[in-house]
Amino acid sequence: MERPLETSGAPVPARRTPADSAEAADRFKQSVEIMARLRAPDGCPWDREQTFDSIRKYTLEEAYEVFDAIERRDFPHLAEELGDLLLQVLFYAEMAANEGYFTIADVLDHLNRKLVRRHPHVFGHEASLAAGNSADVDAQVNGSPVAVLRNWEQIKQAEKRAAAQKEQDRNAEPSSRLDAVQRAMPALYEAAKLGARARKAGFDWAHWRDLLPKLAEETAELEAEAASGDPARQPAVEAELGDLLFTVVNLARHLGVDAEMALRGTNLRFRQRFRAMEKAAAKPLEELTAEELEGLWAQAKRTLAQREADQ
């Protein structure tokens, strides 16, 4: 269960004034100008050579750092992490503007129209329609969050239907049942969703044990590609590793395990065990042999396991 935001004892912020909004607008304008300067011909060489593909991994990283700061309720750090996430938006928008796709103004226009479109109870039904809402909803929510959420989902579904129809008209191809699984989600979660959706069509393993030979098969294929040592085969190595991960995620699905949460749990245990190794070592880990490191790891596992059993 998510922990609610803690407000007890915290000062209640004063209502924002026009001056506050003006200051925010000025600072946002400055951020846009700084990003444009960095990408200018005489700007930063590193920033200038970046592409959509080269920085997308940082976007995911920054989003997870925001998530982490929220979990730890580290609000001063959260302000900084949100700034880093905003930098990603500015970076993409500037690159898009450089290539003639869209500008940061287009990004803000899409956002503003969506906010007005999905809040008819705040801005009025006419304003919502003018912003592109095609769903027939009751703007009188009478202070009910449930009614707000119901309207939000109806408006969102209308948007999806319109977008799907537009995409189908453009491609003139039949849609796939997998189209319901969005690409805009963590890869582990997407893999589980794809497997579950394919299962409805009868395309799935009958039992979790059936995936064990598949794991061995994918591991062998990965080993064969990686053993070549040919740098030109790196895309094939990545593809085989992806196949192995996809199989592992589907094994988790069959076992009723959330792969993302399982991996987060393993990451936490690794942190705890490695920290225990560092504390137990008589000298820096870098100076130990492989056998000594393995011994410390086994000791850390036993110690932490006993500690959990005693709790």
Cβ atoms of residues 247 and 211 within 8 Å: yes
Distance CA 252, CA 192 (A): 8
> What's residue 143's pLDDT?
81
Question: What pLDDT is recorded for position 260?
Answer: 86
Of 1.10.287.1080, 3.20.20.120, 3.40.50.12780, 3.40.980.10, the CATH number of 189-257 is: 1.10.287.1080
pLDDT for 168 equals 67
- Alpha-carbon distances, residue 252 vs 2, 258, 266, 267 (angstroms): 23, 7, 14, 17
The CA distance from 185 to 261, in Å, is 14
How high is the pLDDT of residue 277?
93
d(CA 154, CA 141): 14
Range in 82-91, 204-213, 300-309 the model is least confident about: 300-309
pLDDT of residue 132: 79
What percent of the chain has pLDDT above 90?
51
CATH 1.10.287.1080 domain residues, the chain: 21-102, 189-257
pLDDT of residue 15: 64
| 62-66, 133-137, 203-207: least confidently modelled range | 133-137
pLDDT of residue 173: 58
More confident residue, 37 or 5: 37
Token digits of residue 115: 């906010």
**pLDDT of 105 strictly over 60:** yes
Which value, to the nearest 10 degrees, does the dihedral of the CA atoms of residues 269, 272, 276, 278 take?
A: 110
- The pLDDT value recorded for residue 4 is 38
Structure tokens at 176: 């796939």
Rounded distance between C-alpha atoms, residue 120 and residue 156, angstroms: 13
What residues contact 110, with CB distance under 8 A and at least 6 apart?
none
In this predicted structure, the answer to whether residue 208 has a pLDDT above a threshold of 90 is yes
- Give the phi and the psi of residue 20 in degrees, each rounded to 5: -65, -45
What per-residue confidence (pLDDT) applies to 19?
A: 77
On average, the pLDDT of the chain sits at 86
Q: Per-residue DSSP letters for 10-70? A: SPPPPPP-HHHHHHHHHHHHHHHHHHHHHTSTTS-HHHHH--HHHHHHHHHHHHHHHHHHH
Q: List, for residues 6-51, the tens digit of each pLDDT value.
A: 434 444 455 667 778 889 999 999 999 999 999 999 999 999 999 9
pLDDT above 70 (res 233): yes
Pairwise CA distance, residues 121 & 209, whole Å: 52
**Confidence at residue 16, expressed as pLDDT on a 0 to 100 scale:** 67
pLDDT tens sequence across 267-287: 889 999 999 999 999 999 999
Helix, strand and coil in the chain, % to nearest 5? 75, 0, 25
**220, pLDDT greater than 60:** yes
SS (H, E, C) 93-105: HHHHHHCCCCCHH
| Helices and strands: H and E segment counts in the chain | 13, 0
> What pLDDT, on the 0 to 100 scale, is given for residue 85?
95
The predicted pLDDT at position 133 comes to 78
Q: What is the pLDDT of residues 135-165, one digit of tens each?
A: 777 777 778 888 888 887 888 888 777 777 7
pLDDT tens by residue, 163-200: 777 766 666 555 787 887 777 778 888 998 899 989 98
Question: Which CATH number is correct for 21-102, 3.40.30.10, 1.10.287.1080, 3.30.230.10, 3.30.930.10?
Answer: 1.10.287.1080
